[in-house]
Structure 1
Amino acid sequence: MPRFEIVTHVMASPERVFDISLDVDVHSASMAGSSEKAVGGVTTGGLKLGDTVTWQARHFGIRWRMTSTISAYDRPGHFVDQQVSGPFKRWHHAHYFRPYGHGGTAMSDVIEFVAPLGPLGRIAELLALRRYMPHLIRVRNRYIRQVAEAPPPPD
């Protein structure tokens, strides 16, 4: 089973980074390149334990839908989203947030996934998904960092 971890340093509190990471609108904006948007379940605002969201996106020229749920939630340290239905045989994404430096956060994404279709899925993992999936998470994390580090709007 492919597994990877990406650590991103953000100059904002763990609480702020945690909340931004669970915001459906931020996620959609971060994945604009693949036209990802929420089309079912919670479709705007913040997610919490037990919430489900159905995402629609275009990857590799194909439209995909994936429904995931927030299966673990311990603010501001950790949450997990995992696929309930969708393109993967398994998708488990654990998010960790710990203080780092002077007011910053080390945000860690630990992802395990299995492509469908047995041997054909393993070939897809080797040829494309092992590079593509970390790239998507890095794009997402750059956007989260940008939002989290931006000064708050004036009152």
Structure 2
Amino acid sequence: MAHHSIKAVQRIPISVDEAWRFFSVPENLVRITPADFSFQIISHHHGGQIYQGQIIEYNVRPLWNIPWYWMTEITHVQPQQYFVDEQRYGPFGIWHHQHHFAPVDGGVEMTDIVHYSVPGWWFGSLVNKLVVGKKLEALFRYRFGEIEKMFGKWEGQSCNVKMY
């Protein structure tokens, strides 16, 4: 099973505290996910912000309107710096998503790094090349635009999403 990575970097003209308050609340993920994913959080939360060990359950329809149940666990949290979610059950062979926040002059630089695999040996690699990788890249590009609409545009910045 081949492993793949995606990295998205965005500068946002807000403080690290403001970025953390928004991105560490699971319900806000719905606000930056395309409607065609039919993304719904179905688990019950125990407070506002994420915490280590938190299980988050979703229903999502990312491809061809096929429903998927997805469960992730927040495995690492360093407030105002980073958090990590990992798939415990769902469509990927592996899903490890790092969310980093670093102060920069005039705002915060947010970096998402996702390591993932699509099950199915060579067929999974083909599905990733033809469909999944493109869908994930489009997801992060969509989020880039939504984040700019919500928090403002960083002057001279273009969408920086790279697949590996």
Same fold by TM (over 0.5)?
yes
The partner residue of 1:29 within 31, 43, 56 is 31
- Please, what is the CA RMSD of the aligned residues? 1.9
Q: Which residue identity is paired with 2:54?
A: D
Kindly indicate whether the alpha-carbon contact (under 8 Å) linking 1:56 and 1:63 is maintained by their aligned counterparts in 2. yes
Q: Which has the higher contact order (CA 8 A, sep 6+)?
A: 2
In structure 2, the residue matched to 1:152 is none
* CA pair 101-111 structure 1, distance change in 2 beyond 3 A: same
Deviation of 1:80 after TM superposition, in Å, equals 0.4
Q: Which residue identity is paired with 1:27?
A: L
Q: Give the whole-Å Cα distance in 1 for the aligned partners of 2:71 and 2:38.
A: 16
For residues 96-147 of structure 1, the C-alpha deviation after alignment (integer angstroms, 9 at most, x for no partner) is 1001222x00000001100112221111111112221122123234334444
Q: Is 1:98 aligned with 2:102? A: yes
Q: Please, which runs of 5 or more residues in structure 2 have no aligned partner?
A: 153-164
In structure 1, the residue matched to 2:122 is 119
In structure 2, the residue matched to 1:85 is 89
Task: Give the percent of matched residue pairs that are identical in Structure 1 and Structure 2.
Answer: 22
Runs of 4+ in structure 1 deviating by more than 6 angstroms, as ranges, are none
Question: 2:113 is paired with a residue of what secondary structure?
Answer: strand
Q: Please, which runs of 5 or more residues in structure 1 have no aligned partner?
A: 150-155
The partner residue of 1:63 within 67, 81, 101 is 67
Deviation of 1:37 after TM superposition, in Å, equals 1.0
TM-score (norm 2): 0.82
Q: Which has the larger displacement, 140-149 or 77-86?
A: 140-149
Q: Which has the larger displacement, 89-98 or 60-69?
A: 60-69
